[in-house]
Chain A
Amino acid sequence: MAIIQVKNLSYKYHNSDTLAVDDVSFDIQAGDWVAIVGHNGSGKSTLAKLLIGLMPAQEGVITIDGQELSEQTVWQIREKVGMVFQNPDNQFVGATVADDVAFGMENRQVDRETMQERVTYALKQVDMLDYQQREPANLSGGQKQRVALAGVIAIAPKILILDEATSMLDPRGRREILQTIKRLKDELNLTVLSITHDIDEAASADRILVIDDGHFIEEDDPNSIFSHGSALIEMGLDVPFSEKLKLALSTRGLDVPATYQDEGSLVDWLRTLRSTK
């Protein structure tokens, strides 16, 4: 069953002439990891905000876990959805790490004993338990994002939305947080929707949704999407390293495979090519 259903969604900012999100429809199955990719200003983040009702859409229907998003259901829907935003500093509400993790539970009027348990549990999940009493000023960007993730885990959502959650991190912090999310997704049976222009993040998804200037372009698994190669680059998107290498090889006259290959299979292909020569 589709846990997120979006039908003919449109949104226009009041100071703009064009639609930021233009008649977008898609379904996301429960338990999937879906990446929404698109260049800067293609409407990805707007879409994320529409999904949890931070802005009301002018047209279209959003159904999350069987509930249609409306002014009455918005708070119930937010119970089911956890969101991690881009800027690590600007979503750290608590005075210390533990306070920040507890913030979402405080809003849901969870009693204090349960909160303490869940704070410990959530911080252990993201490997930040030793930092409980630290203040945000003494944490790195990656650590702050892990705390933000812990705050989401603590409220046990069904859906996790990452709104460019790794875009302000260094490559190491990015890798670490993606590994953590991957592990948590399986353990907690989450549906993950990651909005990104980091291509490695997209490559690790089950399905990729491509958006360009507010339009829905296509949805498919990473292999099929990345096999478009140059078409993606024209859309202002990046392609994985192996795909770039293939392009470079084909311009030098090599007959490269048309399907998408990750680094491992490309290395294998190059090996067989060498041995057959």
Chain B
Amino acid sequence: MDKFMFGRYIPGHSWVHKLDPRAKLVMSFMYIGVVFFANNFWTYLVMTALLLVSVLATAIPIGVFLRGLIPLFWLMIFTVLIQVFFGAGGHVYWQWGWLSVTHNGLTSAGLILMRFVLIILISTILTFSTQPLAIADGIESLLSPLRKLHFPVATLALMLSLALRFVPTLMDEAEKIMNAQRSRGVDFGAGGLRQRIKTIVPILIPLFVNAFNRAVDISTAMEARGYQDGEQRTKYRQLKWQRADTISFIVFVISLSAVIVIRYMS
């Protein structure tokens, strides 16, 4: 579990850490959108430069970011190889049966790899520098225009924040159940696929039953504390848009528009 860095939050006090989650969410989405416009050396140069500046601004060592790429390593290799061997068109360097390495194949493989890395890194910046709660707040705030369409934004936000709050609790519980079942002789991770799936059942069922009981308790406690679904509530936590957000946002908008301009100029 410790090696799995993707989607983690790393506490800090950097420029990026202090940004408004809404700003970070929007900037990440814009960046991911524009990645697909980038198609030549100069556009990728701008994209990479923007990413590097953001990475540096998080004050998190680059090694940690690279470790975030490890779980997706095989997926990257797989897509790149498919592109290399099945890409058609341009100068043919090598051919064997229906496999061929062509100029276009190599270029598109390079592009895909580049896009992969850029998208993963920008989302890693978001998750490394933003608490899950702040992300939930940001999503709620960004979705709030949907209220006009009678979309239950507040309910969704409460569900999201409750879900996030119970992730560690449920993880603890799963661990406890696993150990309890181990002590009764269940051998996890042994045997073939069928056997392994069978050993999951004694974890899953108690976990589900407990989750149901928990849900009943929580809803009782919430009701006792005056929660009425669909009623207006005030909010304790508030997001504040600051100057740093505006500055970062402008930097992103300018750089990303530059990418699009370069693409259509050349």
What is the interface of chain A, defined by CB distance below 8 A to chain B?
Answer: 49, 52, 54, 75, 78-79, 81-83, 85, 87, 89-96, 98-99, 102-112, 115-116, 119, 135-137, 151, 155
Interface string of B132-146 (1 = CB under 8 A from A): 010010000000000
Name 19 interchain pairs, CB-CB below 8 A, sorted by A: A54-B220, A75-B226, A78-B224, A81-B224, A85-B220, A85-B224, A87-B217, A90-B214, A91-B221, A92-B165, A93-B218, A93-B225, A95-B165, A96-B133, A103-B222, A103-B236, A104-B226, A107-B226, A107-B228
Interface string of B211-243 (1 = CB under 8 A from A): 000100110111111111001111111100000
Which residue on B lies nearest to A90, using beta carbons? Answer: B217
Asked whether, in the complex, the Cβ of A137 is within 8 Å of the Cβ of B226, the reply is no
Q: What residues of chain A lie closer than 8 Å to B136, measured between beta carbons?
A: 95
Asked whether, in the complex, the Cβ of B224 is within 8 Å of the Cβ of A83, the reply is yes
Partner of A105, one of B218, B224, B236, B238: B236
For window 228-266 of B, CB contacts with A under 8 Å fall at 228, 231-238
Roughly how many angstroms separate A106 CA and B161 CA in the complex, as a whole number?
A: 15
Roughly how many angstroms separate A54 CA and B168 CA in the complex, as a whole number?
A: 29
* B70 interface contact, C-beta 8 A: no
Asked whether, in the complex, the Cβ of A136 is within 8 Å of the Cβ of B224, the reply is no
User: Distance (Å) between the CB of A47 and the closest chain B CB?
Assistant: 14
Which residue on A lies nearest to B220, using beta carbons? Answer: A54
We find that the number of chain B residues with CB closer than 8 angstroms to chain A is 29
Asked whether, in the complex, the Cβ of A85 is within 8 Å of the Cβ of B217, the reply is yes
Asked whether, in the complex, the Cβ of B228 is within 8 Å of the Cβ of A98, the reply is no
Interface string of B105-148 (1 = CB under 8 A from A): 00000000000000000000000000001001000000000000
Q: What residues of chain A lie closer than 8 Å to B223, measured between beta carbons?
A: 54
Asked whether, in the complex, the Cβ of A107 is within 8 Å of the Cβ of B169, the reply is no
Roughly how many angstroms separate A108 CA and B169 CA in the complex, as a whole number?
A: 28
Interface string of B20-55 (1 = CB under 8 A from A): 000000000000000000000000000000000000
* B164 interface contact, C-beta 8 A: yes
Which secondary structure dominates chain A's binding surface?
helix
Which secondary structure dominates chain B's binding surface?
helix
Which residue on A lies nearest to B225, using beta carbons? Answer: A104
Given contacts A85-B221, A102-B236, A111-B234, 20 further A-B contacts (CB under 8 A): A49-B220, A54-B223, A54-B224, A82-B225, A83-B224, A89-B169, A89-B214, A90-B214, A91-B217, A93-B162, A93-B165, A99-B237, A103-B225, A104-B226, A107-B233, A109-B234, A112-B236, A115-B236, A137-B168, A155-B225
Asked whether, in the complex, the Cβ of A135 is within 8 Å of the Cβ of B168, the reply is yes
* B172 interface contact, C-beta 8 A: yes
What is the interface of chain B, defined by CB distance below 8 A to chain A?
Answer: 133, 136, 161-162, 164-165, 168-169, 172, 214, 217-218, 220-228, 231-238
Roughly how many angstroms separate A31 CA and B136 CA in the complex, as a whole number?
A: 42
**4 nearest CB pairs, A to B:** A102-B236, A90-B217, A91-B221, A137-B168
Roughly how many angstroms separate A116 CA and B234 CA in the complex, as a whole number?
A: 12
Q: What residues of chain B lie closer than 8 Å to A89, measured between beta carbons?
A: 169, 214
Asked whether, in the complex, the Cβ of B218 is within 8 Å of the Cβ of A106, the reply is no
Asked whether, in the complex, the Cβ of B165 is within 8 Å of the Cβ of A106, the reply is no
Partner of A93, one of B172, B222, B235: B222
Roughly how many angstroms separate A135 CA and B161 CA in the complex, as a whole number?
A: 12
Asked whether, in the complex, the Cβ of B169 is within 8 Å of the Cβ of A137, the reply is yes
Asked whether, in the complex, the Cβ of B161 is within 8 Å of the Cβ of A95, the reply is yes
Q: What residues of chain B lie closer than 8 Å to A96, measured between beta carbons?
A: 133
Roughly how many angstroms separate A151 CA and B168 CA in the complex, as a whole number?
A: 22
Partner of B235, one of A85, A87, A98, A106: A106
Q: What residues of chain A lie closer than 8 Å to B236, measured between beta carbons?
A: 98-99, 102-103, 105-106, 112, 115-116, 119
Asked whether, in the complex, the Cβ of A93 is within 8 Å of the Cβ of B164, the reply is no
Q: What residues of chain B lie closer than 8 Å to A94, measured between beta carbons?
A: 165
Which residue on A lies nearest to B161, using beta carbons? Answer: A95
- Assuming the A-B contacts A106-B233, A115-B234, A137-B169, are A91 and B218 also in contact, with contact meaning beta carbons closer than 8 angstroms in the complex? yes
Asked whether, in the complex, the Cβ of B225 is within 8 Å of the Cβ of A151, the reply is yes
User: Distance (Å) between the CB of A83 and the closest chain B CB?
Assistant: 4
Q: What residues of chain B lie closer than 8 Å to A82, measured between beta carbons?
A: 225
User: Distance (Å) between the CB of B15 and the closest chain A CB?
Assistant: 20
Asked whether, in the complex, the Cβ of A110 is within 8 Å of the Cβ of B221, the reply is no
Which residue on A lies nearest to B217, using beta carbons? Answer: A90
